[in-house]
Amino acid sequence: MPDAGVDALAAVTCERLGMLLWGLVFLVGAAVMVRAGIGVAAGGEEIARRLGVSQLLVGALLIAFATSLPEIVTTASAALADEPELAVGSVFGSSMANMAILAVLDLAHRGRMLVSVELRQARLAAVAMLLTAVAVLGIVNPSSAEIGWVGVYPLVIAVLYVLTMRWLRSASVPAAPPDQKARASWRVRSQGLTRPAVRFVVASIALLVAAPVVVRAAEHIVEDTGIATGFFGIAFLALATSLPELFTSLAALRLGAYDLAIGNLLGSNAFNVVTLLVADLFFTQGPIMSAVGPVDVVAGLVAIALMGVALAAIVVDREEQRAGPLDPGPILLLVAYVVGLAVAWSAAS
């Protein structure tokens, strides 16, 4: 009996040490992501300024792609491990988490963020909602059409993303310089891009390396809690993979680049849905949209609802110049996020 007691104590001690170790790994990885997020935001902001391109466009495309690299790795890894609910849940859950991040950042900046951005951010929000709605439709009404083992819905989403981003780009890119003097000014602004571009690329690589480590640490920390796979993807894994968006948007706000910050969050929501195609390519058991359950439908619908609230807040606050720490838009976003997690928990139980 004493030996059994010693063995049990040793097992508990090892488990706690393991938790502490993974907690330390999580903190170190998060610190690396903070630094990398600053590099991504600063590099992207300087690129936009030198080229005279809208911060919205840079945030929605360039920075959103960089901060979504963890989602690509995560969804591909989950699909390869035959965990479709984890892959799809992390995509929708990340979109939910990004909207909660938007709310927190706006409240932290006393409501100055949403009133300061371009109205075209609403167009980006509508694009992200459209792509998410198509993904949810693919779950509730799966199609028998396949290309190999890949379903038709992720392919449709990818095509829609390309078309809608071209639409967004046409509305955000300035017209070509009309005369020789303006063209010379354009060339001057374009010079010196090497340094911010290198900074952006190096920081993006750091995000790509650090994010999977943080995600893995988060998995170890909560894997013994008995949480359902689908809900784990929606709540915990999604929050971990949204850390790059959080830190990059924080860095952008420090630079006063509000459009860059919100464009990053909404652009990531749009691009995250496209990663379902990557997940479907790695999930060889058939269309991944046909292999998930009601909890992912709930998460997708909640994500759409949250983006709808964000869209309304952008339009109303921007037009009415409403600002204040108690603006109802961000508060409603946070309340809806918590309620959405509760409903997803119920659906997963």
Neighbour-count burial of 331, counting CB atoms closer than 10 A to its CB (0-12 exposed, 13-18 middle, 19+ buried):
middle
Spatial distance between the Cα atoms of 74 and 77, rounded to a whole number of angstroms: 5
Tokens of 172: 């955000």
Looking at the DSSP bridge assignments, the partners of residue 150 are 147
Compute the chain's Rg from CA coordinates: 21
Tokens of 224: 């013994």
H helices of the chain, where?
2-51, 55-57, 64-67, 69-80, 84-108, 120-140, 152-172, 180-190, 194-222, 229-232, 238-241, 243-254, 258-282, 294-320, 328-348
CATH match of 2-348 with 3.40.1190.10: no
Buried b (16+ CB within 10 A) or exposed e, 11-26: eeeeeeeeeeebeebb
Spatial distance between the Cα atoms of 50 and 57, rounded to a whole number of angstroms: 14
Spatial distance between the Cα atoms of 140 and 277, rounded to a whole number of angstroms: 17
CB 287 within 8 A of CB 151: yes
Per-residue pLDDT of the chain (349 residues; tens, 9 = 90+): 456 665 555 555 666 676 688 778 877 877 777 677 677 767 777 777 777 777 777 777 778 877 777 778 778 877 887 888 888 888 999 999 999 999 988 888 776 777 777 778 888 899 999 999 999 999 998 876 678 788 899 999 999 999 988 887 765 544 444 555 545 454 555 556 778 888 888 888 887 787 677 767 766 766 655 566 667 767 777 777 777 788 888 878 887 888 888 888 998 899 999 999 999 998 888 889 888 888 899 999 999 999 999 888 888 765 555 555 556 778 889 999 999 989 888 887 7
Spatial distance between the Cα atoms of 282 and 54, rounded to a whole number of angstroms: 35
Cα separation values, 241 from 5, 37, 87, 139, 184, Å? 40, 13, 12, 23, 42
Cα 251-254-257 angle, rounded to 5 deg? 85
Domain boundaries, the chain: 2-348
